[in-house]
């Protein structure tokens, strides 16, 4: 089985939002506490992170994560990469550099944002040891996990979604090109960006996400990258069968 752990399900601000007293942000339901977006994908002993959120350390501790074989990046926005320094611990545990996959724009941005990790200036103190690798299309194999990178649009920015067997992770998307729609057929599980109720220039809102699910017809769908507009239980109550909001710590198993 393929196991997916939702390490974080929040939008870039996280939930609770700093200084906000809304019902979601003040909720005592832990499912309304959302760290920044990331998942862990495990299959046949392989353990792969999708993105390194600013809360990676806390997410790894909460999930009992002891090993990461590779990181797949969707894009280089702050909420998806700012925890990259935390992979030092996996360098120490495992030895060697950690393979980090992304499209050419993402890898260039990682080199710029984390410049200290790639130049021999810092004396003492740890630096993450990273091996940047270009994505291989149409698919490549990571320790037995088949990874299929897919192009999706995040506003005007082309970014990467990933299909793993019968599951797909599509975060930070506002439009799916036709060739990607064709690659997202026959899914058991679709994980999809559904930011909020109001429209947004670079993310699907709830209504658009529901339209995408209807079009792709996966067996089930989980929404992520959620802002505080979407209170967990009351939003779930209005969603059709087979579609739910994800939450931090949720683990799902799907046929590979
Ligand atoms: Zn709020
Ligand atoms: Zn983004
Ligand atoms: Zn984001």
- Distance from the CA of 225 to the center of ligand 2, in angstroms? 10
Percent of the chain topping pLDDT 70: 98
Measured from the alpha carbon of residue 225, the closest ligand is 3
Reported as a pLDDT band with limits 50, 70 and 90, residue 255 is confident
Measured from the alpha carbon of residue 229, the closest ligand is 1
Q: How many domains does the chain have?
A: 1
Rounded Cα distance between 211 and 204, Å, is: 10
- Distance from the CA of 74 to the center of ligand 2, in angstroms? 8
Measured from the alpha carbon of residue 77, the closest ligand is 2
| Res 3 pLDDT > 90 | yes
| Res 34 pLDDT > 80 | yes
209-225 pLDDT per residue, tens: 999 999 999 999 999 99
**Please, what is the average pLDDT of the chain?**
96
- Nearest partner of 231 among 26, 19, 12, 44, judged by Cα: 26
The pLDDT assigned to 126 comes to: 85
For 175-178, the CB contacts below 8 A with 24+ separation are 176/152, 176/212, 177/151, 177/152, 177/153
In this prediction, residues 140-169 reach a mean pLDDT of 97
Rounded Cα distance between 15 and 124, Å, is: 36
The CATH number given to whatever domain includes residue 49 is 3.60.15.10
- Distance from the CA of 191 to the center of ligand 1, in angstroms? 23
Measured from the alpha carbon of residue 19, the closest ligand is 1
The answer to whether 159 and 165 have CB atoms below 8 angstroms apart is no
- Nearest partner of 68 among 76, 79, 59, judged by Cα: 59
Cβ neighbours of residue 207 under 8 Å, at least 6 residues apart?
Answer: 197
The pLDDT assigned to 125 comes to: 63
Rounded Cα distance between 114 and 153, Å, is: 25
- Distance from the CA of 21 to the center of ligand 3, in angstroms? 23
Percent of the chain topping pLDDT 90: 95
- Distance from the CA of 37 to the center of ligand 3, in angstroms? 7
- Distance from the CA of 120 to the center of ligand 3, in angstroms? 31
- Distance from the CA of 121 to the center of ligand 2, in angstroms? 30
User: For residues 60 and 126, which has the higher predicted lDDT (pLDDT)?
Assistant: 60
- Distance from the CA of 11 to the center of ligand 3, in angstroms? 6
In this prediction, residues 27-43 reach a mean pLDDT of 98
Measured from the alpha carbon of residue 12, the closest ligand is 3
In SS3 terms, 92-125 reads as HHHCCCEEEEECHHHHHHHHHHCHHHCCCCCCCC
Measured from the alpha carbon of residue 51, the closest ligand is 3
Measured from the alpha carbon of residue 17, the closest ligand is 1
- Distance from the CA of 155 to the center of ligand 3, in angstroms? 12
In this prediction, residues 160-174 reach a mean pLDDT of 98
Measured from the alpha carbon of residue 24, the closest ligand is 1
- Distance from the CA of 121 to the center of ligand 3, in angstroms? 31
Q: What is the full DSSP assignment across the chain? A: -EEEEEEE-B-TT-BSPTT--STTTT---GGG-B-B-EEEEEETTEEEEE---TTHHHHHHHHT-----EEE-S---HHHHTTGGGGHHHHHHH-SPEEEEE-HHHHHHHHHHTGGGTSTT--SS----EEEEE--SS-EEETTEEEEEEEEEETTEEEEEEEETTEEEE-S-SB--HHHHHHT-S-SEEEEE---SS--SSS--HHHHHHHHHHH--SEEEEESB-TTS-HHHHHHHSPTTEEE--TT-EEEE--
- Distance from the CA of 124 to the center of ligand 3, in angstroms? 33
Domain extent, residue 244, equals: 2-254
- Distance from the CA of 77 to the center of ligand 2, in angstroms? 5
Cβ neighbours of residue 105 under 8 Å, at least 6 residues apart?
Answer: 75, 76, 158
Measured from the alpha carbon of residue 193, the closest ligand is 3
């Amino acid at each position: 089985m393929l196991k997916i752990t939702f390490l974080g399900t929040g939008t870039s601000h996280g939930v609770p939002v700093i200084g906000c007293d809304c019902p979601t942000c003040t909720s005592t339901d832990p499912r309304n506490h959302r760290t920044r977006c990331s998942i862990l994908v495990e299959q046949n002993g392989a353990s792969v992170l999708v993105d390194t959120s600013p809360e990676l350390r806390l997410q790894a501790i909460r999930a009992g994560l002891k090993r990461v074989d590779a990181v797949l990046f969707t894009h280089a926005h702050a909420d998806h990469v700012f925890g990259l320094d935390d992979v030092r611990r996996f360098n120490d545990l495992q030895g060697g550099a950690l393979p980090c996959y992304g499209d050419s724009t993402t890898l260039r941005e990682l080199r710029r944002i984390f410049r200290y990790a790639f130049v021999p200036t810092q004396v003492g103190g740890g630096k993450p040891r990273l091996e940047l690798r270009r994505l291989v299309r149409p698919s490549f194999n990571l320790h037995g996990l088949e990874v299929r990178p897919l192009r999706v649009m995040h506003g005007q920015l082309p970014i990467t979604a990933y299909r793993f067997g019968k599951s797909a992770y599509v975060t930070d998307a506002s439009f799916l090109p036709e060739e990607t729609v064709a690659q997202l057929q026959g899914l058991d599980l679709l994980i999809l960006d559904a930011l909020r109720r109001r429209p947004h220039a670079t993310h699907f809102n709830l209504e658009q996400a529901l339209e995408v699910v209807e079009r792709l017809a996966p067996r089930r769908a989980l929404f992520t990258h959620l802002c505080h507009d979407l209170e967990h239980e009351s939003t779930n109550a209005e969603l059709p069968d087979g579609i739910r909001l994800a939450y931090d710590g949720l683990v799902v198993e799907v046929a590979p």
